[in-house]
Protein backbone atom coordinates (compact mmCIF):
# COMPACT_ATOMS: atom_id res chain seq x y z
CA UNK A 1 0.00 0.00 0.00
CA UNK A 2 1.05 3.57 -0.69
CA UNK A 3 -0.22 6.59 1.26
CA UNK A 4 0.44 10.11 -0.05
CA UNK A 5 -0.07 12.87 2.49
CA UNK A 6 -0.42 16.50 1.39
CA UNK A 7 0.35 19.02 4.10
CA UNK A 8 1.93 22.37 4.83
CA UNK A 9 3.53 20.79 7.95
CA UNK A 10 5.32 17.60 6.79
CA UNK A 11 7.56 17.65 9.86
CA UNK A 12 4.54 16.98 12.10
CA UNK A 13 4.52 13.40 10.77
CA UNK A 14 8.17 12.53 11.21
CA UNK A 15 7.81 11.69 14.92
CA UNK A 16 4.83 9.32 14.74
CA UNK A 17 6.12 7.64 11.56
CA UNK A 18 9.65 7.06 12.83
CA UNK A 19 8.82 4.94 15.87
CA UNK A 20 7.40 1.57 16.71
CA UNK A 21 5.00 -0.31 14.44
CA UNK A 22 4.72 2.33 11.70
CA UNK A 23 8.49 2.58 11.41
CA UNK A 24 8.84 -1.21 11.12
CA UNK A 25 6.07 -1.40 8.50
CA UNK A 26 7.87 1.20 6.37
CA UNK A 27 11.25 -0.51 6.82
CA UNK A 28 9.77 -3.87 5.83
CA UNK A 29 8.37 -2.27 2.66
CA UNK A 30 4.79 -3.13 3.63
CA UNK A 31 3.69 0.48 3.22
CA UNK A 32 5.13 3.51 1.49
CA UNK A 33 4.24 6.78 3.22
CA UNK A 34 5.05 9.82 1.09
CA UNK A 35 4.88 13.33 2.52
CA UNK A 36 4.28 16.22 0.14
CA UNK A 37 4.82 19.81 1.17
CA UNK A 38 2.03 21.79 -0.51
CA UNK A 39 4.18 24.91 -0.30
CA UNK A 40 6.57 23.45 -2.87
CA UNK A 41 3.74 23.64 -5.40
CA UNK A 42 3.06 27.35 -4.92
CA UNK A 43 3.81 29.16 -8.16
CA UNK A 44 3.98 32.67 -6.74
CA UNK A 45 7.28 34.16 -5.71
CA UNK A 46 6.56 34.09 -1.98
CA UNK A 47 5.38 30.46 -1.94
CA UNK A 48 2.03 31.56 -0.57
CA UNK A 49 -0.51 28.81 -0.08
CA UNK A 50 -3.31 30.85 1.49
CA UNK A 51 -5.12 34.11 0.83
CA UNK A 52 -7.86 36.33 2.27
CA UNK A 53 -11.45 35.02 2.16
CA UNK A 54 -13.82 36.45 -0.43
CA UNK A 55 -16.58 38.32 1.39
CA UNK A 56 -14.26 39.18 4.24
CA UNK A 57 -13.97 37.68 7.70
CA UNK A 58 -11.25 36.39 9.94
CA UNK A 59 -8.62 33.84 9.01
CA UNK A 60 -6.91 32.79 5.82
CA UNK A 61 -8.12 30.26 3.26
CA UNK A 62 -5.92 27.63 1.61
CA UNK A 63 -5.78 28.33 -2.14
CA UNK A 64 -6.78 25.86 -4.82
CA UNK A 65 -3.78 26.12 -7.07
CA UNK A 66 -0.90 24.68 -4.99
CA UNK A 67 -3.13 21.83 -3.76
CA UNK A 68 -4.41 21.03 -7.24
CA UNK A 69 -0.88 21.11 -8.69
CA UNK A 70 0.37 18.81 -5.94
CA UNK A 71 -2.56 16.40 -6.50
CA UNK A 72 -2.05 16.44 -10.26
CA UNK A 73 1.64 15.53 -9.92
CA UNK A 74 0.44 12.42 -8.04
CA UNK A 75 -2.66 11.43 -10.05
CA UNK A 76 -0.68 11.44 -13.29
CA UNK A 77 1.53 8.70 -11.80
CA UNK A 78 -1.16 6.42 -10.34
CA UNK A 79 -4.89 5.99 -9.70
CA UNK A 80 -6.15 6.58 -6.15
CA UNK A 81 -8.81 4.51 -4.40
CA UNK A 82 -9.88 7.57 -2.39
CA UNK A 83 -8.73 11.15 -1.93
CA UNK A 84 -9.48 11.90 1.72
CA UNK A 85 -9.80 15.37 3.21
CA UNK A 86 -9.33 15.48 6.99
CA UNK A 87 -11.95 17.77 8.55
CA UNK A 88 -13.99 17.85 11.79
CA UNK A 89 -17.24 17.83 9.78
CA UNK A 90 -16.26 14.67 7.89
CA UNK A 91 -17.56 11.12 8.33
CA UNK A 92 -16.52 9.77 11.73
CA UNK A 93 -13.51 7.46 11.52
CA UNK A 94 -14.03 4.03 13.07
CA UNK A 95 -12.71 0.47 12.84
CA UNK A 96 -14.86 -0.56 9.85
CA UNK A 97 -13.58 2.47 7.94
CA UNK A 98 -9.98 1.61 8.88
CA UNK A 99 -10.60 -1.94 7.64
CA UNK A 100 -11.92 -0.67 4.31
CA UNK A 101 -9.05 1.79 3.80
CA UNK A 102 -6.51 -0.95 4.57
CA UNK A 103 -7.65 -2.85 1.46
CA UNK A 104 -6.56 0.01 -0.85
CA UNK A 105 -3.49 0.18 -3.06
CA UNK A 106 -3.21 3.98 -3.18
CA UNK A 107 -4.63 6.46 -0.70
CA UNK A 108 -4.27 10.24 -0.87
CA UNK A 109 -4.79 12.28 2.29
CA UNK A 110 -5.16 16.06 2.30
CA UNK A 111 -4.57 17.92 5.55
CA UNK A 112 -6.15 21.32 5.79
CA UNK A 113 -7.80 23.65 8.18
CA UNK A 114 -11.47 23.82 9.03
CA UNK A 115 -13.06 26.87 7.41
CA UNK A 116 -9.61 27.35 5.94
CA UNK A 117 -9.70 25.58 2.60
CA UNK A 118 -11.34 26.79 -0.62
CA UNK A 119 -14.66 24.92 -0.92
CA UNK A 120 -14.00 24.08 -4.59
CA UNK A 121 -11.19 21.73 -3.49
CA UNK A 122 -13.74 19.81 -1.42
CA UNK A 123 -16.33 19.88 -4.20
CA UNK A 124 -14.10 18.80 -7.08
CA UNK A 125 -10.84 17.25 -5.90
CA UNK A 126 -11.75 15.17 -2.85
CA UNK A 127 -13.70 11.87 -2.80
CA UNK A 128 -14.19 11.45 0.94
CA UNK A 129 -14.11 13.60 4.10
CA UNK A 130 -13.05 12.13 7.43
CA UNK A 131 -13.10 13.31 11.06
CA UNK A 132 -11.48 11.43 13.96
CA UNK A 133 -13.98 12.65 16.57
CA UNK A 134 -16.23 15.43 17.75
CA UNK A 135 -13.67 17.97 18.93
CA UNK A 136 -11.67 20.53 17.00
CA UNK A 137 -7.93 20.17 16.36
CA UNK A 138 -5.74 22.87 14.82
CA UNK A 139 -5.26 21.03 11.57
CA UNK A 140 -5.64 17.74 9.75
CA UNK A 141 -2.10 16.55 10.44
CA UNK A 142 -2.63 14.76 13.75
CA UNK A 143 -5.89 13.19 12.49
CA UNK A 144 -4.08 11.99 9.34
CA UNK A 145 -1.37 10.43 11.51
CA UNK A 146 -4.01 8.72 13.66
CA UNK A 147 -5.84 7.38 10.61
CA UNK A 148 -2.57 6.19 9.04
CA UNK A 149 -1.61 4.29 12.20
CA UNK A 150 -5.02 2.59 12.38
CA UNK A 151 -4.81 1.56 8.72
CA UNK A 152 -1.16 0.51 8.49
CA UNK A 153 -1.29 -1.82 11.49
CA UNK A 154 -3.97 -3.83 9.64
CA UNK A 155 -1.77 -4.52 6.60
CA UNK A 156 -0.66 -8.15 6.31
CA UNK A 157 2.72 -8.72 7.94
CA UNK A 158 2.79 -5.47 9.94
CA UNK A 159 1.97 -6.97 13.33
CA UNK A 160 4.41 -9.58 14.58
CA UNK A 161 1.68 -12.01 15.53
CA UNK A 162 -0.54 -12.25 12.45
CA UNK A 163 -3.60 -12.91 14.54
CA UNK A 164 -3.30 -9.99 16.92
CA UNK A 165 -5.12 -7.43 14.75
CA UNK A 166 -8.06 -9.83 14.55
CA UNK A 167 -8.32 -10.14 18.33
CA UNK A 168 -8.15 -6.34 18.81
CA UNK A 169 -10.66 -4.37 20.75
CA UNK A 170 -13.37 -3.24 18.33
CA UNK A 171 -12.39 -5.63 15.56
CA UNK A 172 -15.09 -8.16 16.47
CA UNK A 173 -17.32 -5.47 17.96
CA UNK A 174 -16.20 -6.35 21.50
CA UNK A 175 -13.73 -4.78 23.91
CA UNK A 176 -10.67 -6.82 24.88
CA UNK A 177 -10.57 -8.83 28.11
CA UNK A 178 -8.11 -7.78 30.86
CA UNK A 179 -4.59 -9.22 30.68
CA UNK A 180 -2.06 -10.01 33.42
CA UNK A 181 1.59 -11.02 33.71
CA UNK A 182 3.94 -12.10 36.51
CA UNK A 183 3.93 -11.94 39.44
CA UNK A 184 0.71 -13.89 40.14
CA UNK A 185 0.30 -11.85 43.32
CA UNK A 186 1.58 -8.33 44.02
CA UNK A 187 0.90 -6.60 47.34
CA UNK A 188 -2.06 -8.92 47.77
CA UNK A 189 -3.50 -8.06 44.32
CA UNK A 190 -4.19 -11.41 42.68
CA UNK A 191 -4.43 -12.58 39.11
CA UNK A 192 -7.77 -14.40 38.51
CA UNK A 193 -7.32 -18.10 39.35
CA UNK A 194 -8.70 -19.30 36.04
CA UNK A 195 -5.76 -17.78 34.15
CA UNK A 196 -3.34 -19.85 36.26
CA UNK A 197 -5.38 -23.06 35.89
CA UNK A 198 -3.94 -24.21 32.56
CA UNK A 199 -7.49 -25.09 31.47
CA UNK A 200 -7.64 -23.66 27.92
CA UNK A 201 -11.39 -23.95 27.38
CA UNK A 202 -12.20 -22.33 30.72
CA UNK A 203 -9.71 -19.55 29.99
CA UNK A 204 -11.33 -18.85 26.57
CA UNK A 205 -14.78 -18.82 28.13
CA UNK A 206 -13.64 -16.48 30.91
CA UNK A 207 -12.05 -14.08 28.40
CA UNK A 208 -15.19 -14.05 26.28
CA UNK A 209 -17.39 -13.32 29.31
CA UNK A 210 -15.04 -10.52 30.37
CA UNK A 211 -15.21 -9.05 26.85
CA UNK A 212 -19.00 -9.13 26.91
CA UNK A 213 -19.19 -7.62 30.40
CA UNK A 214 -16.77 -4.80 29.54
CA UNK A 215 -18.57 -4.08 26.28
CA UNK A 216 -21.99 -3.97 27.99
CA UNK A 217 -20.62 -1.61 30.64
CA UNK A 218 -18.33 0.63 28.57
CA UNK A 219 -19.68 0.52 24.98
CA UNK A 220 -23.31 -0.66 25.22
CA UNK A 221 -23.92 0.70 21.69
CA UNK A 222 -21.61 -1.93 20.21
CA UNK A 223 -23.85 -4.76 21.44
CA UNK A 224 -27.12 -3.10 20.49
CA UNK A 225 -25.95 -3.01 16.89
CA UNK A 226 -25.20 -6.74 16.75
CA UNK A 227 -27.86 -8.29 19.01
CL1 LIG B 1 -9.93 15.47 10.64
N2 LIG B 1 -9.44 17.88 11.59
C3 LIG B 1 -9.47 18.81 12.54
N4 LIG B 1 -8.92 20.01 12.30
N5 LIG B 1 -10.02 18.62 13.73
C6 LIG B 1 -10.55 17.41 13.96
C7 LIG B 1 -10.55 16.39 13.01
C8 LIG B 1 -9.99 16.66 11.80
N9 LIG B 1 -11.17 15.33 13.52
C10 LIG B 1 -11.52 15.68 14.75
N11 LIG B 1 -11.16 16.93 15.01
Interval 162-190: pLDDT, tens? 567 766 767 778 999 999 999 999 999 99
Which long-range CB contacts under 8 A does 169-172 form with residues at least 24 apart? 170/94, 170/95, 170/222, 171/95
Residue 144 resides in a domain: yes
Residues 106 and 185 in one domain: no
Nearest to 31 by CA among 181, 143, 211, 158: 158
Residues 35 and 137 in one domain: yes
- Which of the listed residues 12, 114, 149 should we mutate to test ligand 1's pocket, taking the one with most ligand atoms within 8 A of CB? 114
Residues 134 and 29 in one domain: yes
Alpha helices in 7-140, H assignment, sequence order: 11-17, 20-27, 64-75, 95-101, 119-124
- Full-model pTM: 0.94
Ligand 1 centroid to residue 194 C-alpha, Å: 43
Overall domain count for the chain? 2
CB of 177 within 6 A of ligand 1: the answer is no
CB of 140 within 6 A of ligand 1: the answer is yes
Q: What is the CATH number of the domain that holds 174?
A: 1.10.1270.20
Q: What is the CA radius of gyration of the chain?
A: 22
For helices 20-27 and 141-152, the axis angle rounded to 10 degrees is: 60
Ligand 1 centroid to residue 96 C-alpha, Å: 19
DSSP state, residue 204 = H
Residues 32 and 126 in one domain: yes
CB of 114 within 6 A of ligand 1: the answer is yes
Q: For the segment 34-82, what is each residue's pLDDT rounded down to a tens digit?
A: 999 999 999 989 999 999 999 999 999 999 999 999 999 999 999 999 9
Amino acid sequence: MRIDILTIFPDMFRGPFSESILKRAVEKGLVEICLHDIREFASNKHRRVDDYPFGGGAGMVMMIEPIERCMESLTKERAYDEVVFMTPDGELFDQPMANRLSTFNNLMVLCGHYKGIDQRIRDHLVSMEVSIGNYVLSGGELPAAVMTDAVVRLLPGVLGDETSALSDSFQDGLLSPPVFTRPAEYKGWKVPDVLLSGHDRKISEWRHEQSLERTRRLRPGFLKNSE
